Amino acid sequence: MRNNDVVVFLIITIASIISIIHVNATNNNGIVQKCIDELGLWPLPSNCSVDIYSNPTSLSSSFKIILSPSSEKILSPNEMDWMKKTIDRYNNILKSLYNNDNNVNNNNEKPLQELTINIATSISTIGNINSKKTQNIIWPSIKDDETYQLILNSKDDDESSNVNLFTNEIWGTIRGLETFSQLFNLNTKLSPYSTIHINDSPRFQYRGLMLDTSRHYVGMESIQALLDGMVYNKFNVLHWHITDDQSFPIQSTTFPNLANNGSFDSTYQRHVYTPTNVDSILESARLRGIRVIPEFDMPGHSTSWFDGYPDLRTNCPDSSLKDFSKPMDVTKDSTYSFLQKLLTEMSNRFQDHYFHIGGDEVDGSCWEADPAVQQFCKEHNITSSPALQMYFEEKIVKQLIELGKIPIIWEENFGSLTGYPKGAIIEIWKHVWGNNTILEEIIRQGHEVIYTTPDWYLDYSTNAQKGKTPIPYTRRIDDSSEWKYYYQVDPFTNSTLNEKEQKQLLGAELCSWNVLFDSTNLLSNIFPRGVAVGERLWSDKSIRNETSAATRILNQRCRMVYRGIPVAPVAMADHCAFPYQFTYSGP
């Protein structure tokens, strides 16, 4: 550790001890509750305490965010570039809250002049950089430290005040700056507090949102707005479900007919993501501390592939089978050669170490109806369709591991019969909230797990019925209280896992299956339900009070609307002081 690192580390340690003492000392006086109710932070920090003095806090018209000199000395050039862009973005967010009335000290307002960021460690020294592929560009990963501490200390007789943000790594700065940006009331542009201590870190390292772009294409501006909405709620993973039966909307330079023939618009390619589009999405996500994990669903849900490359399809003679029931022919060497080349291309394009290969809902009846497939199974002592899928998954997992990736596979029936390939992360999805039998079985088999549930599927409007979950909600798509159902769902409900086993659950995600969503309605369908899930994944499990949350989620909705995200209402007749402005240019 460098000398500068030691100094900043000691500052953070001392400040943490002071803040923890302050929190413990003031819990009984209701100050923490005031921090919950009056500040309206979302998601709620791990530890938050405030003191009320006679003066509120405002931002000076000359307010700025700066890096401490010690931080500038230890950060690499690429980290400095990341920090500059992050600071610029939050300076822009905060500009609308500046006090520009030339009466800063009237009404005892105490203007903040600057926020100083203090970073303890350069991640260039701890292995979070993929230098081989990206020339030392900083990419977020599962190992990131997003811890931050935000401290505002002032006294009544101060003419001005400053605030300090302490983080261990650069990733904590974006989480802390988002919290800081929420301290100020949009109407008054004031914060009612002169002293604020916040110690915060995430409950889960993986806080995801899955976006399906196969069933409906989603435009680039909508994806950009989605990434902003995610960072406002401290999500850090975009699981991009790129391909499915309906379309193959991404260009491959190795196999161009995948998109040429498999997208919705094969003539003009207006429903296709180019390599430039992908790079833009990855860069926007990177600058927001969001990982992008691609999913190419296989060997089922892959009929869009066959339009350009029909040799991949299983030749099942049963014409009664639906198209989506016809999976890849996993007995051909040519299939694996094709996939090796495609996965190599996409592994180089997508920088995250995780890579999702689907594996869900494979209808084995097609394989069972193909004489050539059955002959292959006989020769290789493969006795069932689940065993044949396991044969496929093991080969693809091996390919990805050799490419330096960690494969993710959807939980599926084949796994319950054959187990899952070693080295793969399993994503749970089939079970209603509170039914953790399969989750716990897979964890105890030694796998790391990502959690989702039909109760977090945005395309389901009536999934959760009375008696089916720990809390008897009946969901309606137009029910203003629907966010409360999403808020109560928790991966560890009814869990019997011990503390060590719980660590194998990396996190969880909300799923936007775009059956009826596209750029016209995507964001208002994701939010505010996604807002509710954001707090569930970041904040402590004990934070479940719907009464407190109801006030705060309305504040968060209005905050996001103010920033340009069309978040749907959270309650009947709720309203924001600054209504959403829809831009329309008529004929």
583 belongs to a structural domain: no
List b or e across 168-204, with b for residues whose CB sees 16 or more CB atoms inside 10 angstroms: bbbbbbbbbbbbbebbbbbeebbbbbbbbbbbbbbbb
**Higher-confidence position of 165 and 14:** 165
pLDDT (tens digit per residue) in 193-209: 778 899 999 999 999 99
Residues 143 and 215 in one domain: no
Reported as a single tens digit per residue, the pLDDT across 257-301 is: 999 999 998 777 889 999 999 999 999 999 999 999 999 999 999
Separation of alpha carbons 221 and 224, rounded Å: 5
Whether residue 308 sits in one domain with residue 246: yes
Domain boundary among the residues 185, 200, 215 is at: 200
Domain end marker among 154, 181, 200? 200
Over range 292-312, report the average pLDDT.
96
Q: In the predicted model, is pLDDT for residue 11 greater than 70?
A: no
In this structure, the answer to whether residues 272 and 412 fall within a common structural domain is yes
194 plus 228 within the same structural domain: no
CATH classification of the domain holding 473: 3.20.20.80
Residues 6 or more apart in contact with residue 48 via CB below 8 angstroms: 23, 32, 35, 36, 39, 41, 196, 197, 198, 199, 200
How far is 237 from 374, CA to CA, in rounded Å? Answer: 40
Whether 280 is in a domain gets the answer yes
Higher pLDDT, 19 or 502: 502
Residue type at 490?
D
In total, how many domains does the chain have? 2
State which amino acid sits at residue 354: Y
Residue 550 lies in a domain: yes
pLDDT at position 100: 60
Determine, yes or no, domain membership for 576.
Answer: no
The mean per-residue pLDDT over the stretch 13-40 comes to 46
Are both 192 and 210 inside the same structural domain? no
At residue 318, φ and ψ (nearest 5 deg) are -75, 100
Residues 150 and 227 in one domain: no
CA–CA–CA angle 192, 196, 200 (5° rounding): 130
Does 582 fall in a domain? no
Asked whether residue 570 is assigned to any structural domain, the reply reads no
Q: Which amino acid is at 223?
A: I
Boundary of a domain, candidates 200, 224, 247: 200
**Closest CA relative to residue 12, chosen from 61, 88, 70:** 70
Residue 30, token pair as written in the block:
């209701």
Residues 94 and 111 in one domain: yes
- C-beta of residue 484 within 8 angstroms of C-beta of residue 500: no
Question: Both 188 and 244 in a single domain?
Answer: no
- The answer on 474 and 350 residing in a single domain is yes
Distance CA 198, CA 167 (A): 12
Q: What is the pLDDT of residue 49?
A: 82
> In the 8-state DSSP scheme, what is residue 431?
S
Flag whether 361 is in a domain.
yes
Strands 161-167 and 148-152: antiparallel
- Catalytic residue selected from 114, 345, 361, 394: 361
| 280 and 164 within one domain | no
512: domain range? Answer: 206-562
| Shared domain check, 211 and 81 | no
Q: What is the mean pLDDT of residues 404-432?
A: 92
Q: Is 212 helix (H, G, I), strand (E, B) or coil?
A: strand
CATH of the domain at 45: 3.30.379.10
Alpha carbons 394 and 372: distance in angstroms, whole number: 21
What pLDDT band is residue 325 in, cutting at 50, 70 and 90?
Answer: low
Of 485, 489, 479, which is closest to residue 570 (Cα–Cα)? 479
Q: Which two three-digit tokens encode residue 568?
A: 């749907």
Whether 108 contacts 56, CB under 8 Å: yes
Same domain, 178 and 211: no
pLDDT at 554 over 70: yes
| Per-chain mean pLDDT for the chain | 86
Assigned domain for 294 exists:
yes
Beta bridge partners of 250: 273
Count the Cβ atoms, other than its own, within 10 Å of residue 342: 18
Check if 546 is active-site: no
Provide CB contacts within 8 A for 586, sequence distance 6+: none
